[in-house]
Amino acid sequence: MTDDAAAIPPRTWEPEALLGEDMGRAYRRFVEWMYDARFCLAVVEVSTPWKRDALIAWTSAKYAGVRTLRLDEVGPRKKSLWRTLEETCAPEAGTKVLILERLEEAEERQYLMGELNIKRDELVRDFPVMWIVLVHRAAAMEMRMKAPDFCDIARTWLWEEHPPELKEMLSAIEARSIAVGPAPMGEGAPGRELLDAAAHAIELGYPDEAADLLAQFDMKNAHAREVPERVLLEAKLLLAQGRYAEAQARAESARAASAARNDQRNLARALYALAGVELHQGHYSSAEALFQECLVAFEHPSDSYGRANCLNALGLISSLRGQHAEARTYLQEATALYTESGDGVSRAASLQVLAGVEAAQERYVEARALLLEAIAILSELGDRSGMAATLYALAKVEILQEQYEEARGLLERSLALNERTGFRQGVAASLGQLANVHALQGRLIEAQAAIREAITIQQEIGDAAGRASSQLLLGQLEVGVGRYEDGRRLVQQAVETLTALGSGQAEAARAILRKIDALAIPPT
């Protein structure tokens, strides 16, 4: 609770400048005409924090006996609403105008709205002063549903004519791509046909079948777990399941064994696997260094397929950093090598990342054409993993063009495929973009549920970049319903993580943080 010594900004803003000409004039008249009346209630929807504070400051400066009560400081686990009202409206306090604020930020919103509704008549009888409830528009909607009897006695209901638009900030959200080219396989391993089949199953998104094939290989080979190709396939399977620590341990084991044997081909493959683990966790700098090392390593055995995969991954990293010209160079070279080798799966993955580069530069027609080409390839091959990632990428293009229903359908298909393949990072990414679509269409409850589920998965699998993107969205959703402090904290955390990762999303995140900060600071 604060006294009428609310901080008045350097400029005293008039109600008309805060709420709009008509609403501001109505607020001014209400306070003037009802100042000496017994109980009378005005509800004012104000979604911009600095405007709320400035309206309190104007009222306090113009009229004596104005007291404010912060509802985020009231509740069963804090101080009871009734006792706080008794203290605030005690005869010696000289209260003439009671301003209630920050219902939207209160942890005990349900309790408070229930109290206002159930004890409406007692409130009117025992606290006969002018009441002004300043409330965020989202909380105002909730209050109409949860405290209808209290809302019924409002003498006037006003609102900010030009509230901040959440949609403008949400449009900057774009979760990072999740496609990385498949890990290369080698020749000469015992039971090669089983390893080839397992590699193919992993690439197409059949993890259970891949695990079964690896088990068959183990049964036929006494020292299976010492075979580098088998170890690297296990690492790739673990990576696809989001088990990053285990994947890293297996790849490190393969690297050590290959180095001890001076096996340059499998050493390069182990470096590729380790780089993939770093990339999937959003560790761009370390991933880039490993992929560059891997690129050089693949030159010695003259492995063009391995080089193509490294170039594809380096293109993805450049894209994620916003380095579009560099990304295009890497990806075009990778695509050419895949085309030469006739590898449709990898070509489709490269086309998907290249489409992301085009979309980032607002070349949506070109991006869509690349993605449709990739979808045609993947559909023919029956590649569930690649299809999930490409549908996801196409949905992002639709979101950027505000085609939300089309995007939602694509994301639901992507989510279902990722769930079937057990690719948890893909599940989280699809949920994150679904949350974005829900929010852009005004379905904030569904958006919050989806993004919280995504964050849980990302925390469990150690996906730092994905979690940061999700925090960025959740922070905006919190701001959108008036919980500015919680929202700002989440966005700040996302900014710090993305900056540390060297993500191209970092500047967009900082811009969002600046917009949130601007909601609390009046213009000069």
Mean pLDDT of 380-396: 91
Secondary structure of residue 41 in the 3-state scheme: strand
Mean pLDDT of 50-74: 95
DSSP 156: E
With a cut of 50, say whether residue 181 has pLDDT above it: no
pLDDT interval class at 244 (50, 70, 90): confident
Residue 312: inside a domain: no
pLDDT interval class at 176 (50, 70, 90): very low
Higher-confidence residue of 8 and 364: namely: 364
The reply to whether 22 and 140 lie within a common domain is yes
Q: Give the pairing of strands 40-45 and 154-159.
A: parallel
Residue 32: inside a domain: yes
With a cut of 60, say whether residue 56 has pLDDT above it: yes
pLDDT interval class at 11 (50, 70, 90): low
Domain end among 239, 274, 309: 274
Query: What's the number of CA atoms in the CB half-sphere (13 Å) around residue 153?
Result: 20
The overall average pLDDT reported for the chain is 88
The reply to whether 36 and 108 lie within a common domain is yes
The reply to whether 158 and 191 lie within a common domain is no
> CA separation (Å) from 279 to 289, 341, 372?
11, 25, 26
Higher-confidence residue of 207 and 368: namely: 368
pLDDT above 90 as % of the chain? 57
Query: Rounded distance, CA 447 to CA 54, Å?
Result: 31
Residue 195: inside a domain: yes
The reply to whether 225 and 116 lie within a common domain is no
The reply to whether 140 and 249 lie within a common domain is no
The reply to whether 20 and 144 lie within a common domain is yes
Residue 435: inside a domain: no
With a cut of 50, say whether residue 186 has pLDDT above it: no
Domain end among 274, 292, 313: 274
The reply to whether 124 and 91 lie within a common domain is yes
Per-residue pLDDT of 260-282, as tens digits, reads 888 888 899 999 999 998 888 77
Could you tell me if 236 and 217 are in contact, meaning their C-beta atoms sit under 8 angstroms apart?
no
**287 CB-near residues (< 8 Å, 6+ apart):** 275, 276, 278, 279, 313, 317
pLDDT at 169: 67
The reply to whether 197 and 90 lie within a common domain is no
Could you tell me if 121 and 9 are in contact, meaning their C-beta atoms sit under 8 angstroms apart?
no
| Residue 32, both tokens | 């003037």
| CATH code assigned at 254 | 1.25.40
With a cut of 80, say whether residue 247 has pLDDT above it: yes
Mean pLDDT of 193-207: 81
Residue 370: inside a domain: no
pLDDT interval class at 2 (50, 70, 90): very low
pLDDT at 182: 45
pLDDT at 8: 46
Per-residue pLDDT of 324-339, as tens digits, reads 999 999 999 998 988 8
| CATH code assigned at 89 | 3.40.50.300
Per-residue pLDDT of 422-470, as tens digits, reads 888 889 999 999 999 998 888 888 999 999 999 999 888 888 888 998 9
Domain end among 274, 304, 330: 274
pLDDT interval class at 489 (50, 70, 90): very high
pLDDT at 165: 74
Residue 487: inside a domain: no
With a cut of 90, say whether residue 12 has pLDDT above it: no
Phi-psi region of 185 (alpha: psi -120 to 50; beta: other; left: phi over 0): beta
Per-residue pLDDT of 127-138, as tens digits, reads 999 999 999 999
Mean pLDDT of 400-415: 95
Query: Rounded distance, CA 421 to CA 241, Å?
Result: 9
Residues in a beta bridge with 68: 2, 99
Mean pLDDT of 70-86: 91
Mean pLDDT of 46-59: 95
pLDDT at 171: 56
Q: Tally the residues of the chain.
A: 524
With a cut of 70, say whether residue 296 has pLDDT above it: yes
The count of structural domains within the chain is 2
The reply to whether 138 and 208 lie within a common domain is no
Residue 280: inside a domain: no
The reply to whether 123 and 82 lie within a common domain is yes
Backbone angles phi, psi at 351, to 5 degrees: -60, -35
Secondary structure of residue 153 in the 3-state scheme: coil
Find where tokens 């397992």 sit: 198
pLDDT interval class at 301 (50, 70, 90): low
Query: Rounded distance, CA 143 to CA 106, Å?
Result: 13
pTM of the complete model? 0.75
Query: Rounded distance, CA 508 to CA 514, Å?
Result: 10
Domain that holds residue 110: 15-163
The reply to whether 158 and 245 lie within a common domain is no
With a cut of 90, say whether residue 340 has pLDDT above it: no
The reply to whether 238 and 139 lie within a common domain is no
Residue 290: inside a domain: no
